[in-house]
Chains A and B, each alone.
Chain A
Amino acid sequence: GIQVEQSPPDLILQEGANSTLRCNFSDSVNNLQWFHQNPWGQLINLFYIPSGTKQNGRLSATTVATERYSLLYISSSQTTDSGVYFCAVGVEYGNKLVFGAGTILRVKS
């Protein structure tokens, strides 16, 4: 099955700093989502982005499907950005999203 690798596994930022999280996948995908899991365990949808670039406030994402990677940019980080960021992909005629192991982000004030 498809493999999803996220990097870095852990990241510590000072409030106000910028960061880039990466998601590599091993096969063609027709679905890619980024999620933020907050400290209470809730998975929050950030982006549905099988290709192209999207922006939502301080967050933006780019997926280059032909090169099998996606990037999540966080600018001017805040302590509320802390948590785990997951990338998940779906393949054509697949029945599920396959998740990466996540990036643990800690933003210090």
Chain B
Amino acid sequence: GAGVSQSPSNKVTEKGKDVELRCDPISGHTALYWYRQSLGQGLEFLIYFQGNSAPDKSGLPSDRFSAERTGGSVSTLTIQRTQQEDSAVYLCASSLGRTSGNTGELFFGEGSRLTVL
């Protein structure tokens, strides 16, 4: 697609439920990133994919969070047993991928706003 596409744009869920957030990167971009932005805060790195592999999962806040990427394209971020502190905007970005140790220019989607009641 022309840009990074995320769905749903908004999700309201009850505490304890599982949620799945989807990201469709720019066509041809091999690198994909998930970030989280809590209300009024900066962006917090969650996970990085190169192709279908996730060489850096260091930002996932707990084992309730997981992500996968299939076909080198679409990625799904899953949050199990959601808690109120999981409420945030979840942003996905993609880039052409690393060359010479550089991430390259990242392009972000519009985000998925998650509210946990």
| Chain A interfacial positions (CB closer than 8 Å to B) | 30-31, 33, 35, 40-43, 45, 48, 50, 86, 88, 90, 92-102
Contacts and interface: CB of A to CB of B under 8 A. Distances in A.
Given A41-B110, A86-B43, A101-B42, A96 B48 contact: yes
A30 B42 contact: no
A99 to B, nearest CB: 4
A90 B59 CA distance: 15
A102 B56 CA distance: 24
Nearest to A47: B105
Contacts of B45: 96-98
Given A41-B37, A96-B103, 4 more contacts: A33-B106, A35-B108, A42-B111, A98-B45
B42 A41 contact: no
Given A95-B56, A96-B45, A41 B103 contact: no
Given A98-B45, A99-B43, A92 B106 contact: no
A96 B101 CA distance: 11
Contacts of A35: 108
Interface string B106-117: 111011010000
B107 A31 contact: no
B103 A94 contact: yes
B89 interface: yes
Contacts of A99: 35, 42-43
A43 to B, nearest CB: 4
Contacts of A86: 42-43
Contacts of B42: 86, 99-102
A96 B105 contact: no
Interface hub of A31, A33, A102 (most chain B Cβ within 10 A): A31
B108 A43 contact: yes
A48 B105 contact: yes
Given A41-B89, A86-B42, A95-B48, A31 B111 contact: no
B91 to A, nearest CB: 7
A31 B89 contact: no
B107 A45 contact: yes
B102 A96 contact: no
